[in-house]
Structures are given as structure tokens and as C-alpha cells.
A and B are shown apart, each in its own frame.
Chain A
Amino acid sequence: MHVKFSLSRWQLLAWLIGLLLVTPLGFLLFESLQGDSDVFQHLFDTVLWDYTRNTLLLILGVGLLSCVIALPLAWLTAYCDFPGRKQFEWALMLPLAMPTYLIAYVYTDLLDYAGPVQIALREWFGWQSPDDYWFFDIRTLTGAIVMIALVLYPYLFLIFKTALREQSFKLVQASQLMGLSPIQSFLRVSLPLGRGAIVAGITLISMEAMADFATVNYFAVSTLTTAVYDTWLGYYSLTAAAKISGIMLLILFLTIMVERFSRRNQAVYERQSSVNSATLYRLKGGAAWAASLACTVVLVLAFILPVGVLVKYAVVYADEAWNGAFFSYAWQSFKVAIVVSLVTILLSLLVLFYQRIAKHAYPLLPGRLASTGYALPGTVLAIAVLLPLTQLDDALNNWLEPFGLSPGLLLSGTLFAMIFAYVVRFYAIAHGALESSFLRISPSLDMASQSMGKGPLQTLRKVHLPLLKRGILTAGLLVFIECMKELPAALLLRPFNFETLATHVFQYVSDEQLELASISALLIVLVGLIPLYFVNRSMEQHHS
């Protein structure tokens, strides 16, 4: 009886979390049922198909390109030995700290017709006008795909590399003995075995790509996100905007179903191995240098070059870009990011633990519900968060009025709104990163713990938590970095006089004058690197 009681308590908790985090979306969808559908019909008749096609192409393109970049690099750094391998293993994570709006800006500045690269080419070859030559046009769908993939591939890199580390080496060794070349082994053993991890990584990347507004807007590529903004801010129709968000959610659910499907019947539990996986293939000569070169090229394109340009801006515009308030902005960003990381980890641990012990129907549903916020564009999410919070505030004020109290906007007008929005948005990341770690814990451990008379909570604390350490660190890191970069929700929901680094940078980026905020932009990247460094170090220790 005791077990049953506590189980339903876990169930209640998981469902509460799921419902709490899906509330904003629920309010938004409810909104889509009201009002007229004229605007939606008009869009449907004119541009909606173009937008939908662009969104699908964007997701596909970013997913594919991320695979092309991340999978070979992950495999190389996990299984092969080549010059610089140890450094690349963490350095290839660095682009994660680079917000897409920064990298897009920097590359446009470089590669635009009026940018230094093309100007130099024209001077060099004596070309006079754009008709004289062809050059890659960055402000296109392809450009957006490249930019987004360059900063999002680390998700896949990280998740796939972890999976490779935890795959059975015996299989890879066996493939080696059977005479498969490294490339054959990669294609025929590692890729199929890592399928679940790959799909999980791509899902995260797709959601982020779908919700992106800054890059596509800057590149004048119209996607469904653009449509959401147009309808809402141009046509003043939150109804139509909510409907389009509905289409986006549909895409999201389809993606998640694909993920579920690919993971069916798959259970790979962690095996501790003392083998140093990187010694599997010792690359020599040309192969070794090719591996180093591949890693270097990606690192330069995705991180070193953009940071270099920012540093250049910062030097040239040092006087204008210097601002005494930097450290307070950085501290605000940092503080919000820490709180959100802790909260999302706690919530996702609880939900995932329920998933694990649940014997009820739909054990996965609470987690799915809670994860939906990730696919919503930031500003839409911000408004969606305001819908329930302002109503709660209203109710609270009405309720307290007889007592002569008027707390005002206690929830929607304070940092609470911002933190809540972040949690709704980034829960999916923590959930995704922790889920795979959870799944790798063998159920036999739970049974052992149970047979020793431990309750669920003790099993979670004593058995799971120690084994989840790495997953928790990874999840915390990813959420932290996302929070540092997050812009639209912060912009709209922050209280008076509250600046984060990102909102400070946006003032200038919105006027296409990033140069004047280059120091803040560099700080976003730097502060994001702090946890990256520590988490990486702790993982290294975990390994050795």
C-alpha cells in the first residue's frame, strides 16, 4: 500500500509540473479559438505556404548540416587519437556560447556585397558590379542554415560523443577485428548504435531552429516565426498568431514522434569501461592531420573568427563600447541563468523519475507537455507567459483589496515572469539532456534498491543522483548557456531598469550597430564559457 501511495504522489507532482509549464501555451491556444479568422485566411491565401516551406527547409537544413559537422567530429574525438584531440574535445563545444544573432551579424558584415571580403575581391579582380561575378549570398535561407548550424551543432556533438563513450567498445573492437576500416566502423557500428542520441540531438536543434527569429529576420528569410510576428504585431491579431503557433507545435509533435519512434525497443544501459576509448584508432600521418584540420576549420568558422571580429570591433570602438555598467549586466545575466538552471534541473529530475517508476498510463505525457515551450519563438512565449500571470495578478489584487492591500503586478511585473518564461522555454533542454542519462541507468539498480526496502525518494537520492552527476552537469551547462544568450523573453518581460548583457547588446544590434555593444557581446560569450570550463573539467575527472 505504501508504495502505491507514494507512486500516485509522484504522479501528481509530475503532472503538476507538466501542466504548470504548458499553461502559457494553453492560454495562447485558447486565444486562437477566439476572434475572427480573416487574417489567417488572408495569410493562407497569400504567403503562408512559402513560410511553411521555408520553416521546414530551415529545420531540415540545420539538422542535416549539424549532422555533417557534429557526427564525424564526435566520433573522431571519442575514438581516435590525433594531434590536438584533447583540446578539440572541449573547444568544439565553444560555439554554443555564441548567440546566433551575433554570428549572423558578424558574417553578414564580412560577406555582404558591401563587406570587406567582396570589396577586396572586386578590387583584386577589377570587377565593377554584382553582375560581374557570383558570390555566396549570405542573406538567404542557405545563409541562415549555415549560421544556425554553426552554433547549434555542439548539441549533437555533445550528445553523440557521450553516447559513443558509453557504447560498448567491444562492438567497435569487434568491428576492428573483423577488418572494417575506421570509416566503415563509424558508418556501420557507431551511427546505428547512436541513433537514439542522434535523433535526440537533432530534435533539440530543430526546435531551436524553428523558434529562431533574430537570424531569419536579419537575413530577410520569412518563416512561420516571421508569420507569427507579422500577424500579431502587423495585423494586431493574436488569434491568427496563435493559430500559426499551432502549426509550429504540430511540426514539433511530429518531430518528437519521430524521436520516440526511433528510440522504440531501444535500451542501452551504461557500462563502466576502463578502456580509454580514444586509443581505439591511432591516426597517423595524413589521416591524423586531416582530422586535426577538420576540427580546426569548424572551430575557426564557428568560434574563433566571429570572436576575432568582435574583438576587432571592441578595439576600434573601445570608447563608445565601454560602459561602466557591464559588470552589473553580466551579474544580472549570470544570476538569472543560475536560478533557471537549478529550477529546470530540479523539475526535470522529478518528472523523469516519475517516468521511470510510473506504472500509470501515459507516463511520458507530463514531460512532453512541459517540453513544448522550447519551440515557441521567444516573444510569443513572453506574451503567452503574461496571459496567465496577469490574470493571476488580477485575481490576487481583487482578493486582497478588502484587506486594503494592493500588491500590484507581483508575478507578471517582476523577475518572476522572466524566470518563469525561461523555465518554460528551457525545460526541454534539461529534460532532453537528463533523459538519456536516466535511460542508461539499469533498472536492475532500482530493483536492488527496492529490495533493500528503500522508497522512491531514497532510490532517487542514493542510487540515481550519483549516477546522474554527469547528466546533471551537462543539462545545467546547456540551460545556463541558453539563458545567457536568451533575448526576446528577457527584453519584453524584464522589470524596469533591469538589463542583461543580451538586452544591452540588442539596443545596438536593433540599430545595426553591434560595434557599439561589442564588449557586452564578448562578455556574453565569456560568461557562457565559465561553466563550460568547469563542467568540462569535472567530466575529465569523472573519466580518469
Chain B
Amino acid sequence: MRKKALVLLTALLSTPVFAADVVNIYSFRQPFLIKPILDDFTKQTGIKTNVVFAKKGLIERVKREGKHSKADLVLTSNFSALIQLEDLNLTQKIQSDVVSANVPSTFRDSDGQWVALTKRVRNVYSSKERVGALPELTYEDLADPKYKGKLCTRSGKHPYNLGLVASMIAHHGEAEAKQWLEGVKANLARKPQGNDRAQVKAVKEGLCDIALGNSYYFGKMMQDEQQKSWAEAVHINFPNQTNRGSHINVSGVVMTKYAKNPENALKLIEYMTDNKAQNMYASVNMEYPVKNGVELSEMVASWGEFKEDSLSLDEISKYRPAALKLIDEVKFDL
């Protein structure tokens, strides 16, 4: 009996033996988003990929696992996670001419500790029926009392909104940003909730007229049979085109400090920054590639050219803690 139990326990605990040609990934991004890219990488190189996906806590896990961690790479869905990994000293330098050539310097760490893979814009959607296109709209306008009761957004604490608030602090200082945030809160049609898709849906149904949302959601909704009608009810607007440009967030990757398969990990990073993967990001996920010259998906291209806010991610992330405090102070989510 005892022997049986022991055998059972060993069988349960044993994880598959890792072949030499693998790369192990902790991913904040849903596996179905990155699977086509990883599959193609395996096909090209013969290197297998293993993934653990979670939305929360992966950084803590890498930190606690320390030098025995099996993770070689961490894929993130926003820049603050990249910078946190760097700050916690959990990363190592990504040294590659391929990466340097592929990714413009504004989208990688000056010391090579992280690399951005895709860009997404913080757009404002507006109801076609009730508002029309808003080419001159600015983020500042969202606090304008004329939008009272007309604005929808997800939680202020979501990294995408947090990044935007941090950039507002960077541009205007904390006091002015707080005033702005209070104005935005006063304009909300409902308590912040749901994800970015849910906001577009709410605009379609007439609950609000304008909504904050990332660019790729718009594209993803257009591809979805059931959600297409939501997306068709709104215009996608790029804020602040008349001055500094729209706020950009990125998804990205770091190589862990104690990566056990650094060569394979580097190969994957290089692959992900190169034409084919960049193109897949664009065509499958409707994101903006970081590599210049990679063709956009037809749909993303149809949204037109736009000006990006040139503020560096490092700079924005300095104001992230202050942004979070502001959001608590004005009780944005309550």
C-alpha cells in the first residue's frame, strides 16, 4: 500500500524531462495569442517551447524561485511589468545585433534588459451615431464637462489606464493630472468595469458615447462574428494628434537572470522581433509591430497613420506609483 502510494506520488510529481532544445516561458499573455508564433518558431528551429500562463504573480514566482527558476523568458502585456522585472534585478542583458537592428532604440531598454515586441495605442472610441469621428480629440478633453455621463472605461488600475495616467502626470505634473482625473471620473457613465471590449459594447448599446480602449481590441472585435456589430458602431480615434501624439503601451519580453537555456531564449527573442513574427503579431493580433517597415494588417492600416507620443517608457514608468496613488485618492474605481 505504502509502496503504491509512493509510486503514485512520484508519478504525480514528476514533470516531463526537459529535452535540451527547449525554451521555458512565463507568459502574461494568453497562450492562444502567442501560440501561432511559438509553433512557427518550433517548426523553424526545432526548439520546443513550454509555457506557464498567468495574469498575476508570475514576477513574484520568478523572484522567489531565484537561481533555480526554470523560466528563461517572461512575456509581458505591458511595459510596467518589463520595468518591474528590471528593477527587481531579475533580468539579464539581451545582446544581439539582430534585436538591435530590428527594434528601434526607443522600444528597448538602453542597457538591453528588456525588449518591446508590439505596440498598442490607447484609443478613444466614439459612437458613430451620436458623436461621430473626433480627429481633434485629446486625452485632456475626456475631463471636459460636455462629456458628463458619456464616458466608459475599464478599471483605472488596469496597467493600460495606469500607463495613460502616468503619462498625464509626466506631461502636466501631479496636481494638474489629479484635476484631470477627477474630471474624467465625473464624466463616467458608470463605475469602471469590464475590459476594453465591454466598453465598445456599451457604446453600441447607448450606455455611453465615448470609451477608452486599446487599438487591437477593435481589430479583434471586427474579426469576431458576434462582436463585429459592436465595433461597427464606433469610430476609432487617435487622441492628441494636434500636439504630442497618442499614448503608446507595449508588450515585451525579458530574459531571466538565471535562464538555463539562454541561447535558445535569445533565438526566440530574435525570432519574435523579426519580420515573420512581427507580421503575425500584426495580422493575427491586430497589434502594431515594433519593427519598422513590417507591413500592418490591412485593417490596422485602414485606421490611418498617426503620431505617437514620444515620451520614453522609462520616463512614463517613473510616474506609475504616483498614478496609482492618484487613482486611489480620487477613488476612481469606487
Contact = CB atoms under 8 A, between A and B. Distances in A.
Interface in B1-48: 12-16, 24, 30-32
Contacts of A408: 68, 70
Nearest to A127: B206
A129 B205 CA distance: 9
B65 A497 contact: no
A interface: dominant SS? helix
Given A379-B56, A494-B52, A119 B205 contact: yes
Contacts of A236: 84
Contacts of A229: 56
B105 interface: no
Interface string A486-500: 001001111111100
B202 A511 contact: no
Given A139-B191, A220-B192, A222-B334, A230 B65 contact: no
Contact of A139 (B24, B32, B57, B193): B193
Interface stretch (B110-118, B178-186, B268-276, B324-332): B324-332
A516 B220 CA distance: 14
Contacts of B333: 220, 222
B328 to A, nearest CB: 4
Given A47-B331, A409-B70, A496 B52 contact: yes
Given A495-B15, A507-B30, A46 B328 contact: yes
B64 interface: yes
Contact of B207 (A130, A495, A510): A130
Given A235-B324, A512-B198, A496 B70 contact: yes
B30 A47 contact: no
B50 interface: yes
A507 B65 contact: no
B32 to A, nearest CB: 6
Nearest to B81: A233
Interface in A369-391: 379, 382-383, 386-387, 390
B70 A512 contact: no
A413 B50 contact: no
A492 B13 contact: no
Contacts of A114: 198, 201-202, 204-205, 207
B202 A113 contact: yes
Given A233-B57, A235-B324, A220 B65 contact: no
A50 interface: yes
Q: Please indicate which of the listed interface residues A222, A488, A493 has the most CB atoms of chain B within 10 Å of its own CB.
A: A222
B29 to A, nearest CB: 10
A512 B197 contact: yes
B207 A492 contact: no
B69 interface: yes
8 residue pairs, one from A and one from B, having the closest CB atoms = A220-B193, A496-B50, A114-B205, A46-B328, A390-B64, A492-B57, A491-B54, A386-B64
10 contacts: A114-B204, A236-B84, A316-B226, A383-B57, A386-B60, A387-B64, A413-B68, A491-B55, A497-B51, A510-B30
Interface of B: 12-16, 24, 30-32, 50-58, 60-61, 64-66, 68-70, 84, 155, 157, 162, 189, 191-195, 197-198, 201-202, 204-207, 226, 321, 324-325, 328-329, 331, 333-334
Given A46-B328, A50-B331, A508-B30, 11 more contacts: A47-B334, A220-B333, A222-B334, A235-B324, A238-B60, A394-B68, A412-B65, A415-B12, A492-B61, A507-B32, A516-B32
